[in-house]
Structure formats: structure tokens, C-alpha cells
Amino acid sequence: MCLLTLQLSAQDLTTTADSVFIRNIFDQALVEGESYQNLEHLCKDVGHRLSGSKAAEKAVEWGKKVMDGLDLDRVYLQSIDVPFWERGDIESASIKSDKDITLSIRTLGGSVGTNGLMQGSVVEVSSLEEVAKLGKEAIAGKIVFYNRPMDPKPISTFQSYGGCVDQRYAGASVAAEYGAIAVMVRSMSLLEDDGHAHTGSMGYKTGVNKIPAVAVSTHDANVLHDHLQKNESTEVELNVNAHTNENVVSSNVIGEIKGSVYPNKVIVIGGHLDSWDVGEGAHDDGAGVVHSMEVLRILKALNYTPRYTIRVVLFMNEENGNMGGKGYAAKAKAKNENHVIALESDRGGFSPRGFNILADSSQVDFVRQFREVLEPYGLHHFEPGYAGVDISPLDTKENKVNPDLIMMGLVPDSQRYFDYHHSDTDVFENVNKRELELGCGAMTSIIYLMDKYLQ
Ligand SMILES: [Zn+2]
């Protein structure tokens, strides 16, 4: 059974009432907005907040306090077991030469340490397949350097990222299978970035030797490449002391307004509260957190009574485990909660362009009907596509909360996202106030329209 009414005429959606209401939403976001100030508090008072850390718990308290101030029907924490990886206090790499050349690195999340100084000669590759092709003879005892850059051609930089990130996630295990002692991975960034390596998650395949894995800044990846070109052999000295601790109990932070017509049907909106332990997690995903909470604030400020229950979830542990997303979905399934829409913001606080829609084609058409009324606000992208990591477990076989669930992801302009992503430069100062606020307007408008017209 399809839950949607698809016969909306264009006229319904361009009625003065809707146009005026959406104008009011954007006025709220741009004139009375609290998202920028909230983001400043999260970035400056809490700072970066990797799962398991004290700062992550401070972020939970902060999120609950902000939602408590929104006069919602219910605000609560949901316990989530999370991994606790720590970078440690040593991170250094240098090319051994007459005069050593220091390389800017960041240990990848989940990596083991080097156990003191480690030195090895470097083999440069551009893919996981190349490691297999070179085989044990060339790889054993070496440091493998994955240097395939992000492709500058796709207009969506997420596409370029997707075409590259296998090196970061799986590079260590593939290299270890052929006897490598460590891996260095070119940072996932299109910027020639001097001094800022970009971290991110990596994983070890079971049964394979765990070897250290670090990201090297794009600039220094080029330095290392040039050195390899000019010299017969290149030796790198590496020293990192990352380690994984016991799991820790943390929380998702949840706030909701009860639906007036369908209190048992849920529209869930969210971003992730955790961040990497570098920078301030401003775009990733402080922006998504404040976007989501601002939806509730704006709807309350405009005295809108939602038909469906509108729930904001600040998910814990997206970056290195997605335990918040998985735990939320499992609990929703266990409680037999019917989710009708899930909307995530986890692509930064840049000017919004529209939404990715993960749903069947008739549902995509349903959402596309709203394009006309939203286009004046720069929102034109209403395309099938990936919605978001945190909400993705709601649509797995084991957790399927509703066969008609519409999943959506806010799509902001992506050109600068990977300049900052997972690096020291993902700080509050690199988020533009207006662009952030426009994202709040976009999120609130689509939720208003869908709450009003979804049958
Ligand atoms: Zn994120």
C-alpha cells in the first residue's frame, strides 16, 4: 500500500498560503535564526568531540540543554554503546634524506600505533588492485603509499570522494595481506593542502595483521611522490601512538513535537553530534546538528502544529561505527514505531541546493512536486540519491520501519566541503552565517510541506 497522495496539482503547492508560510520560514531562519549562535557554542565551548571522549559527553549535555530550551513535548537521551579510539600524543613522519623532510600526517581513525619509531622504504600505488598486482615481493616489509587523488571532474565532490575513499578505509588490510608494515594515504581533499592532513575512518579485515595507517596532506603527498620519482629509494620514518580503549556508554539526544493527527507516525530529522578529534566538527556535522534543531525552533516560532510527530535526533558515533544510527533504528523497530520520513543533514553548512531522495520513483515524484515552490530559494536539486549514514539503518532488512519510508538528505553546494572535511580547518570561522541559515530554511520548508501533504 502506498501512503502517499500523488495527485497534488501544481496549484495546491503554489497557493498563497504555502508561499507565504515558506517566506515566513526563511525570514525566521535569516532574521531570528539561532543556528549560527548554537554552532558557535558547540564549536567553541565543546570543541571537537569524538565518540567516547569527555567532549562527546559535554556535547550530549549541550544538545539536551538546547532542546530543553525549545519548549518541546519531549526531550530525552537514548543510551548507545560506542567505541573509544584515541589518537594519542605522537604523530610524526619524515622522509629520511641528507636533511629530513617532515610530512604533515594524521593517524586514521581506528588505526593501531607504530609501537615506537618505524622506518621503511616506500612503495607508491594508485589503487588497492595495484597492491595485489605488485604482490608480496614488492610489498613485504614496505610502507605502502596510496596516492590516487580525488578526481576534479565531477561537479559533486562527493562523487570524487566516493571514488577515492576505498584507499583510506581498506588500504591497510589489503597492504597487510602482502606483508606491508604501514600505509600512508593521500588525504581525501581536492585542495593542495599544506600542513592539514585529513583523517577519517579505516577498518581492519578480520584475520589480517593490523598495521598503522596515516593520512598525509595532499601537499606532502606530492612532496613524497616527487621524492620517489627523483630517488632510487625513499625511506620514511613513522611514529604514531594511537590506540583503542574499551567501549563507552554514550547517548543520542532526542527532542520531539507530538503529531496532532498522526502522533504515532514519525518524521525524523537529524545530524551527528560526534566529530573527528581535529578541528571543531563545524561543517561535519555541527551544521547538521544546528540545522535539525532549528527546524523545531522555527516551526514552534511560527505556531505550526505538525500533523505527524516531528523528532530531531542528534546521533552519536557516525564517524567511527554509526552505533547511534544503528541503535536508534533497532530501538525504533523494537518499539514498532512507524517512521514515514527521515531527513539528514551531513554535507556541511554551505548554500543549500536541494535534496537527495532515497525512495521509490512515485515517492521521488511526490517530493519533486515541491520544487516549484522552493526554487525561489535556490533549491533545485530533487534527485534520487544517498540520504545519510545516520538514518541509513532505518531502511535495512533487520530494521525496516516502514516499506514506504522516504529517506532524504540535504544537498548543499559541495565545492568546499572536502577542503575542511576531517581536518584542523573544519572550524566555526569557516562556516558562513547566511549559508548555514539558508540550510535551516530549506530543511524546515521541506518538512513543513511534507508534513502538510503526506497522506
Ligand atoms: Zn559527517
Higher pLDDT, 92 or 8: 92
Question: Cell 576505498 maps to which residue?
Answer: 166
Task: State how far the Cα of 136 lies from the Cα of 75, in Å rounded to an integer.
Answer: 55
* pLDDT value at residue 396: 86
Q: Residue 129: CB partners within 8 Å, gap ≥ 6?
A: none
pLDDT digits (tens, 9 = 90+) for 189-214: 999 987 899 999 999 999 999 999 99
What CATH fold (topology level) applies to the domain 10-85+246-453?
Answer: Aminopeptidase (3.40.630)
Q: How far is the CA of 18 from the centre of ligand 1 (A)?
A: 32
- The answer to whether 36 and 284 have CB atoms below 8 angstroms apart is no
Q: How far is the CA of 448 from the centre of ligand 1 (A)?
A: 24
Q: Which amino acid is at 438?
A: L
Q: How far is the CA of 236 from the centre of ligand 1 (A)?
A: 31
Q: How far is the CA of 276 from the centre of ligand 1 (A)?
A: 9
> What is the arithmetic mean of pLDDT over 83-98?
97
What CATH fold (topology level) applies to the domain 88-241?
Answer: Glucose Oxidase; domain 1 (3.50.30)
Q: How far is the CA of 393 from the centre of ligand 1 (A)?
A: 15
Please give the backbone phi and psi of residue 12, each rounded to the nearest 5 degrees, phi first.
Answer: -55, -40
Statement: residue 54 has pLDDT above 50: yes
Statement: residue 5 has pLDDT above 70: no
The average confidence (pLDDT) of the chain is 95
Q: How far is the CA of 8 from the centre of ligand 1 (A)?
A: 34
Q: What is the pTM of this model?
A: 0.95
Task: State how far the Cα of 367 lies from the Cα of 357, in Å rounded to an integer.
Answer: 8
Q: How far is the CA of 126 from the centre of ligand 1 (A)?
A: 26
pLDDT digits (tens, 9 = 90+) for 112-152: 999 999 999 999 999 999 999 999 999 999 999 999 999 99
Statement: residue 1 has pLDDT above 50: no
Q: How far is the CA of 359 from the centre of ligand 1 (A)?
A: 21
> What is the arithmetic mean of pLDDT over 178-186?
98
The band of 11, judged by pLDDT with boundaries at 50, 70 and 90, is low
Q: How far is the CA of 165 from the centre of ligand 1 (A)?
A: 14
Written as one string, the DSSP assignment of 38-93 is HHHHIIIII----TTSHHHHHHHHHHHHHHHTTT-SEEEEEEEEEEEEE--S-EEE
Task: State how far the Cα of 228 lies from the Cα of 225, in Å rounded to an integer.
Answer: 5
* pLDDT value at residue 397: 82
| Domain boundaries defined on the chain | 10-85+246-453, 88-241
Statement: residue 12 has pLDDT above 70: no
Q: How far is the CA of 346 from the centre of ligand 1 (A)?
A: 5
Q: How far is the CA of 319 from the centre of ligand 1 (A)?
A: 6
Statement: residue 187 has pLDDT above 50: yes
Burial 329-353 (b: 16+ CB within 10 A, else e): beebbeeebbbbbbbbbbbbbbbbb
* Count, residues in the chain: 455
Q: How far is the CA of 263 from the centre of ligand 1 (A)?
A: 30
Statement: residue 182 has pLDDT above 50: yes
Task: State how far the Cα of 363 lies from the Cα of 48, in Å rounded to an integer.
Answer: 37
Question: Cell 597487510 maps to which residue?
Answer: 176
Q: How far is the CA of 417 from the centre of ligand 1 (A)?
A: 11
- The answer to whether 392 and 324 have CB atoms below 8 angstroms apart is no
Q: Is 392 left (phi over 0), alpha (psi -120 to 50) or beta?
A: alpha
The band of 2, judged by pLDDT with boundaries at 50, 70 and 90, is very low
Strand partners, 215: 106, 185
Q: How far is the CA of 388 from the centre of ligand 1 (A)?
A: 9
Q: How far is the CA of 283 from the centre of ligand 1 (A)?
A: 8
CB atoms within 10 A of CB 100: 11
pLDDT digits (tens, 9 = 90+) for 321-343: 999 999 999 999 999 999 999 99
Statement: residue 227 has pLDDT above 70: yes
Task: State how far the Cα of 17 lies from the Cα of 38, in Å rounded to an integer.
Answer: 30
| E strands, 217-307, in order | 235-240, 243-257, 262-272
Q: Say whether 454 sits in a helix, a strand or coil.
A: coil
CB atoms within 10 A of CB 305: 12
* pLDDT value at residue 428: 98
Q: How far is the CA of 367 from the centre of ligand 1 (A)?
A: 24
Task: State how far the Cα of 297 lies from the Cα of 70, in Å rounded to an integer.
Answer: 6
Please give the backbone phi and psi of residue 117, each rounded to the nearest 5 degrees, phi first.
Answer: -65, 140
* pLDDT value at residue 373: 94
